[in-house]
Amino acid sequence: MSLSAVAWRIDKECVLVDVRLTPNASRDQVEGLDTLADDRVVLKARVRAVPEKGAANAALIKLLSKTCGLPKSSVSLERGSTARIKTLRLDGDPNAVIRALMEVCGL
């Protein structure tokens, strides 16, 4: 996978990240990048929370805020609240956020 094929993009003063979420997992973790059948690249994440009443989304926000060193209030769900593929908005220094994402993905 090349560096041009990543799951995030800069949009003004934030970073938008496409995530494939697996709820009800054995642990909370970011697993790296994956390519979907339609060739979109996503960040794979797992959370222990069940997909009920927004619990898995809240756990994903907490996981990404911790991963990127941001307060939870700086991470929000842009779209996909009930879907497995989601887009999250990370408000903060885009360079620092992308560095953290690259590090967790081993890039």
Predicted pLDDT of residue 4: 56
> Can you tell me the mean pLDDT for 50-64?
96
pTM of the shown model: 0.92
Q: What φ, ψ does residue 55 adopt, rounded to 5°?
A: -65, -40
Domain assignments of the chain as residue spans, ordered by start: 8-105
What are the pLDDT digits (tens) for 1-40? 444 578 999 998 899 999 999 999 999 999 999 999 999 9
Rounded Cα–Cα distance for residues 72 and 89 (Å): 11
pLDDT at 3: 47
Structural contact between residues 48 and 26, judged by C-beta atoms closer than 8 angstroms: yes
Q: Which CATH superfamily is domain 8-105 in?
A: YggU-like (3.30.1200.10)
